[in-house]
Amino acid sequence: MDLSPPTTEQELLERADRIAGRTLGELAAMHDIEVPDDFRRAKGWVGRLIETCLGASAGNRPAPDFEKVGVELKTLPIGADGLPRETTYVCRVPLADIEELTWETSRVLKKLRRVLWVPVALVEEMPIPQRPVGQAILWSPEGHLGEALRQDWEAHTETIRLGFIEDLTAADGQYLQIRPKAAHSGKLTWAPGRDGGSILTLPRGYYLRRDFTSAILEANYAW
């Protein structure tokens, strides 16, 4: 059963409401999708399943998952305690182009300007087909969370512009962290160096801490 992309936020929310409370096994059966035995060799399977269920259209292109309404999809693994179990990947850090960016033109804001968060149970003792999908949240980075994101992004960006990319660690940033993102240490990219030139370094990615997504859940009573 293939769905055409939603054309309004209301249509997207109605689709999200219809899958809330369903299990991954039920949703997979509706779309003739095989459920993996574990996620070690099926990374991203849950996200692709939810994309299919909701009619996402962007695929691997650099565009919001729901292009017609400008909404990004983020699945959120939730533990038995009702809290997020993982950090959330946002996008790659554009190291070579960092000099030209502002918060308003950043990839982070483009990705997070409008997000549909879909909680999914991640309880190790529960078989994958039995894990339920929670009530979705349509969210924008406003208020103190949006301001904290901007401050983290600007602090990280200034550090990179000054040539101190190698000094950034996952401990930096209140809610937004930067971590290496590469398949192996041989894959390098250019970044600003301390002497005004350029250096080769590992690609980096932006990630949202679990405290951030926990605050979104708490504010929206999603789980």
- Report residue 179's pLDDT band, with 50, 70 and 90 as the boundaries: very high
Average pLDDT, the chain: 92
Phi–psi pair at 222, nearest 5 degrees: -85, -20
- Report residue 62's pLDDT band, with 50, 70 and 90 as the boundaries: low
> Cα–Cα distances in Å, from 133 out to 9, 39, 186?
19, 16, 38
- pLDDT attached to residue 185: 62
Interatomic CA distance for residues 66 and 55, integer angstroms: 8
| Closest by Cα among 77, 97, 99 to 88 | 77
- Report residue 223's pLDDT band, with 50, 70 and 90 as the boundaries: very low
| Closest by Cα among 129, 14, 138, 128 to 65 | 138
pTM of the complete model = 0.92
Interatomic CA distance for residues 223 and 220, integer angstroms: 9
- pLDDT attached to residue 99: 86
pLDDT in tens, 95-121: 988 988 999 999 999 999 999 999 999
DSSP run (H or E) holding 208: strand 204-208
Beta bridge partners of 177: 207
Residues with Cβ within 8 Å of 67's Cβ and at least 6 positions away in sequence, in order, are: 5, 57, 58
- pLDDT attached to residue 59: 61
Q: Which carries the bigger pLDDT value, residue 54 or residue 37?
A: 54
When mean pLDDT is compared across 3-12, 155-164, 175-184, 196-205, the lowest value belongs to 175-184
pLDDT exceeds 50 at position 24: yes
pLDDT in tens, 67-104: 999 999 999 999 989 899 999 999 999 998 898 899 99
CATH superfamily of 9-220: DNA mismatch repair MutH/Restriction endonuclease, type II (3.40.600.10)
Domain boundaries, the chain: 9-220
